[in-house]
Amino acid sequence: MPLPSVDKQRLLVRAAVMYYVEGATQLDIARHLGVSRATAGRLVAQARAVGIVRIEIVSGITRRVETELALESRFGLQEAVVVEADDTGHVDLGQGCADVLARTLRPGAVVGLGWSSNPDEWIARTAEVLRTLRRAADDIPDVTVVQLAGASPTDPTRMDPAQTVSAVADALGARPVLIAAPLYVDNAATVASLRADRGISSALDLVARADTCLFGVGHVSPTTPLFVNGYLQERDLEQLQARGAVGDAVGRFFGADGRAVGGALAERTLSAELDLIRSRPLRVAVAAGPERVDPLRAALSGGLANAVVTDTSTARSLLGDAPRTSTDARLLTPHPLPKDPT
């Protein structure tokens, strides 16, 4: 489209600056410029059409938008966040988790949060990013972060992963509600005794009020962090595999249909029940890597999760896609674009 006259360009620039920079409405622009509202809309649209305005969507995280939309369609998800690896091959899942939390939190919200037995994974990074975001935004009042599963390690020299749950709560300016107990105990009677504790029962009861649950999804093999870090024994893995378990969330294992797998380990587990998590409005599964594809597929197709944060390779495997060119975008919620004039 050819450029308009200099006088018209000045008018277009003024309308564009008011709309895109100052956040004015088309009605504001119409009043300021002494034109009709329809003319104001045409000025803003023409400023884009002739190249006076160029939209760049930016954020701290590279996203694969087409792949996200495909995942949402395939599994009926509320949201998919697909993170592209950086030049070193690192995938910042924590940035994706922080983006979801920062965008969806509302005053009075309750967030159910899982933890990772590798504390340096996504959850620690989530806290780090949220601390940065909080410095640039007002606090959201009356937010509570509740731990979804016991975490205390049997080895006292290991860091308690509950600390990372506290770190996320602190980064949000939220009240933390922790479960001061192990994930797995010796027998079902011990679980019953711990659930009778007022603090633990209050925490687990609070999960039923959670607006959002955010949790990692693990796999069932000798390389799963729960086994590597000493939470599971070899006999536990053997029994889980025999029962058809393909993955875990909050330390509870599920099959290919996304439903909980019973057995002795389930009876010794101190965490929110999977069906309780399944009842919450937003349930975000976090995982990436070839060994997480089947567990993620089960969690998404079985309704355990209705949102996901993952990487490009895992997303493509979930979709059954070969590598292809996709739209990279850096996401920021922009000022709403005007409708093209008709």
Q: Are the beta carbons of 149 and 114 closer than 8 angstroms?
A: yes
pLDDT tens digits along 199-244? 999 999 999 999 999 999 999 999 999 998 889 999 999 999 999 9
What mean pLDDT value characterizes the chain?
Answer: 86
Residue 296, both tokens: 């993620």
Residue 77 above 70 pLDDT?
yes
Residue 62 above 70 pLDDT?
no
Question: φ and ψ at 198, to 5 degrees?
Answer: -60, -45
Q: Which domains does the chain have, with CATH numbers?
A: 6-49 (1.10.10), 62-329 (3.40.50.1360)
pLDDT tens digits along 83-139? 988 778 788 999 999 989 988 899 999 999 999 877 667 888 899 989 887 655 567
Strand partners, 330: 62
Residue 334 above 70 pLDDT?
no
Which has the minimum average pLDDT: 66-70, 83-87, 144-148? 83-87
pLDDT band at 56 (very low <50, low <70, confident <90, very high): low
Please give the Cα distance from 225 to 239 (Å, whole number).
17
Nearest to 218 by CA among 207, 210, 209, 227: 227
Between 282 and 154, residue with greater pLDDT = 282
Per-residue model confidence (pLDDT) at position 91: 87
Which letter does DSSP use for residue 291 in this model? Answer: G
Please give the Cα distance from 261 to 215 (Å, whole number).
18
Nearest to 315 by CA among 10, 69, 62: 69
